[in-house]
Amino acid sequence: MIGGLFIYNHKGEVLISRVYLSYSDSAAVHYGLPRPGLFSWRNAVDAFRVNVIHARQQVRSPVTNIARTSFFHVKRSNIWLAAVTKQNVNAAMVFEFLYKMCDVMTAYFGKISEENIKNNFVLIYELLDEILDFGYPQNSETGALKTFITQQGIKSQTKEEQSQITSQVTGQIGWRREGIKYRRNELFLDVLESVNLLMSPQGQVLSAHVSGRVVMKSYLSGMPECKFGMNDKIVIDKQGKGGTADDAGKSGKQSIAIDDCTFHQCVRLSKFDSERSISFIPPDGEYELMRYRTTKDIILPFRVIPLVREVGRTKLEVKVVIKSNFKPSLLAQKIEVRIPTPLNTSGVQVICMKGKAKYKASENAIVWKIKRMAGMKESQISAEIELLPTNDKKKWARPPISMNFEVPFAPSGLKVRYLKVFEPKLNYSDHDVIKWVRYIGRSGIYETRC
């Protein structure tokens, strides 16, 4: 498993180090196996610094093998997290663990930075001790961890409290503690989608998909049993069979085909597999209930029409039109169009109908920002780009024009149909729970080649 775990700053200095395995040869000697070569953690730590952090070249792989030792790394701002092993470990698990560790640290002390790590190093050791035992990941749900690892140190607990903690950490519902009470039972559902597009200059969709998340904030008392329903085509078709033909026809139109979805560990997967129903006992507070992906019948909120013309060797003329493609009553926000410019650009003149446009030399792009834009509208920008003559033989690669925006609907067409809450032990019913649903569509990688 993971033999050691290190956190480095950008200079390659070790901020946190935790070693689980010595990779000594006691077992090998015992069974008369070939002895492994000499191994020292100090050398391993240095090897990573020299070969990865200080490497001249861009990192070519997140897994590096140096002298029969494998290094997995993840970078967050300028902090490097490295897991080291000499065994054939489950690579996906190691990365998932490193992500999880980042999540846990963020939940405890915010942004992962050198300062924060130094400020909280005792806490980090304490957390690591709990979530990684002998290199094997253990319960790493922040909700559970926060019940017994606090920054103030543990307060004396009663015996009941102690056994409650341990049964929660090891229990079947490790993500929720018993005895939660709210005066007002309330829940918020956010359907957050990012719509991804790659379009050819001629306006042909090369690939498009929506990756969505359903984020839930639950403030519910007790151990509520929830059931979530959406306009999933498979479910609706199934129900449609039972109802009248007319029903099926009507709902069939509004349902969407989900390519694949994954769930938070609270969802009973076997039930989803057999009945396609989503039932669970939610964690308290905010968490991600599900992720999904769709590729069919996506509403593309914007269309980008580029026109790039080279005028001689020293001038480019660029015209870009954007068209919004949704109900006129809805408003898109935070619209940003990024038009890449060649490296040898010497000057840019821009004229746009709406919003503000600026040439940013440091980013090699013209950035055009529009605060708001209603549906079924169109806007245009034109620019003249002066180029310095170069003798560089290589042509400019023409990176695609990318776009950012936010719209108040789900581009996949997903609709929440219901979220039912049952808590038989406490006296509140589904009707008493206040529920809020919100849809936000954002641009993922939304690119048009030019």
Partner 1 sequence: MTDSKYFTTNKKGEIFELKAELNNEKKEKRKEAVKKVIAAMTVGKDVSSLFPDVVNCMQTDNLELKKLVYLYLMNYAKSQPDMAIMAVNSFVKDCEDPNPLIRALAVRTMGCIRVDKITEYLCEPLRKCLKDEDPYVRKTAAVCVAKLHDINAQMVEDQGFLDSLRDLIADSNPMVVANAVAALSEISESHPNSNLLDLNPQNINKLLTALNECTEWGQIFILDCLSNYNPKDEREAQSICERVTPRLSHANSAVVLSAVKVLMKFLELLPKDSDYYGTLLKKLSPPLVTLLSGEPEVQYVALRNINLIVQKRPEILKQEIKVFFVKYNDPIYVKLEKLDIMIRLASQANIAQVLAELKEYATEVDVDFVRKAVRAIGRCAIKVEQSAERCVSTLLDLIQTKVNYVVQEAIVVIRDIFRKYPNKYESIIATLCENLDSLDEPDARAAMIWIVGEYAERIDNADELLESFLEGFHDESTQVQLTLLTAIVKLFLKKPSETQELVQQVLSLATQDSDNPDLRDRGYIYWRLLSTDPVTAKEVVLSEKPLISEETDLIEPTLLDELICHIGSLASVYHKPPNAFVEGSHGIHQHSADQFAIMKQYFSVLQVWLPATKAKGLEIAGTFSRRQGHMYMDMTFINKALQHMTDFAIQFNKNSFGVIPTTPLPIHTPLMPNQSIDISLPLSTIGPVMKMDPLNNLQVAVKNIIDVFYFSCLIPLNIFFVEDGKMERQVFLVTWKDIPNENELQYQIKECHLNADTVSGKLQNNNIFTIAKRNVEGQDMLYQSLKLTNGIWILAELRIQPGNPNYTGKKKTNATAFSYKLMVHIF
Which of these ranges, 47-55, 306-314, 330-338, 441-449, lies near partner 1 under the rule CB under 8 A?
441-449
162-181 residues in contact with partner 1 (CB under 8 A) are 162-163, 165-167, 169-172, 174
Among 322, 350, 353, 319, which residue's Cα sits nearest to residue 336? Answer: 322
Which of these ranges, 157-165, 222-230, 241-249, 350-358, lies near partner 1 under the rule CB under 8 A?
157-165
Q: Out of 77, 244, 270, 362, point to the residue binding partner 1 (CB under 8 A).
A: 270
Angular region, 285: left φ>0, alpha ψ -120 to 50, beta rest: left
Q: Any contact of residue 138 with partner 1 (CB under 8 A)?
A: yes
With respect to partner 1, which residue has the nearer C-beta, 365 or 373? 365
Check whether 360 is labelled as a binding-site residue. Answer: yes
Helix or strand or coil: residue 81?
A: strand
Q: Out of 56, 179, 245, 260, point to the residue binding partner 1 (CB under 8 A).
A: 260
Which of these ranges, 19-27, 243-251, 373-381, 418-426, lies near partner 1 under the rule CB under 8 A?
19-27
Q: How far is the CB of 383 from partner 1 (least distance, A)?
A: 20
Check whether 241 is labelled as a binding-site residue. Answer: no
Check whether 371 is labelled as a binding-site residue. Answer: yes
For 198-225, give the DSSP string: EE-TTS-EEEEEEEEEEEEEEE-SSS-E
Q: Out of 90, 346, 349, 390, point to the residue binding partner 1 (CB under 8 A).
A: 90
Q: Out of 26, 244, 329, 391, point to the residue binding partner 1 (CB under 8 A).
A: 26
176-205 residues in contact with partner 1 (CB under 8 A) are 198, 200
Q: Any contact of residue 449 with partner 1 (CB under 8 A)?
A: yes
Q: Out of 5, 44, 48, 72, point to the residue binding partner 1 (CB under 8 A).
A: 72
Sequence-distant (≥ 6) Cβ neighbours of residue 298 within 8 angstroms: 195, 208, 209, 210, 411, 412, 413
Q: Any contact of residue 70 with partner 1 (CB under 8 A)?
A: yes
Q: Any contact of residue 293 with partner 1 (CB under 8 A)?
A: yes
Q: How far is the CB of 249 from partner 1 (least distance, A)?
A: 27
105-124 residues in contact with partner 1 (CB under 8 A) are 115, 118-123
Q: Out of 12, 106, 148, 404, point to the residue binding partner 1 (CB under 8 A).
A: 148
With respect to partner 1, which residue has the nearer C-beta, 35 or 315? 35
Q: Out of 55, 107, 234, 269, point to the residue binding partner 1 (CB under 8 A).
A: 269
Please count the residues of the chain.
Answer: 450
Burial 433-442 (b: 16+ CB within 10 A, else e): beeeeebbbb
Burial class (CB in 10 A: 0-12, 13-18, 19+), 424: exposed
- Do the bridges between strand 225-230 and strand 132-133 make them parallel or antiparallel, or are there none, so unpaired? unpaired
Which x/- pattern over 342-371 shows residues binding partner 1 (rule: CB under 8 A)?
------------------------------
Sequence-distant (≥ 6) Cβ neighbours of residue 419 within 8 angstroms: 187, 189, 226, 227, 228, 229, 435
Which of these ranges, 283-291, 302-310, 322-330, 362-370, lies near partner 1 under the rule CB under 8 A?
283-291
Which of these ranges, 285-293, 363-371, 383-391, 405-413, lies near partner 1 under the rule CB under 8 A?
285-293
Q: Any contact of residue 37 with partner 1 (CB under 8 A)?
A: yes
Q: Out of 43, 55, 78, 136, point to the residue binding partner 1 (CB under 8 A).
A: 136
Q: Any contact of residue 34 with partner 1 (CB under 8 A)?
A: yes
Which x/- pattern over 383-422 shows residues binding partner 1 (rule: CB under 8 A)?
----------xxx-xxxx-x--------------------
Q: Which helix (H) or strand (E) holds 195?
A: strand 186-199
Q: How far is the CB of 396 from partner 1 (least distance, A)?
A: 9
Check whether 334 is labelled as a binding-site residue. Answer: no
Helix or strand or coil: residue 254?
A: helix
For residue 339 the two structure tokens come to: 């038009």
Pairwise CA distance, residues 365 & 359, whole Å: 6
306-345 residues in contact with partner 1 (CB under 8 A) are none
- Do the bridges between strand 331-340 and strand 186-199 make them parallel or antiparallel, or are there none, so unpaired? unpaired
CA angle 222, 227, 231 (to 5 degrees): 150
Pairwise CA distance, residues 375 & 442, whole Å: 15
E-only strand ranges, 256-415: 260-263, 278-280, 285-294, 302-311, 315-324, 331-340, 345-352, 356-360, 365-374, 378-387, 401-407
Q: Any contact of residue 153 with partner 1 (CB under 8 A)?
A: yes
The DSSP output letter for 194 is E
Check whether 250 is labelled as a binding-site residue. Answer: no
Residues of each annotated binding site: 356, 358, 360, 369, 371
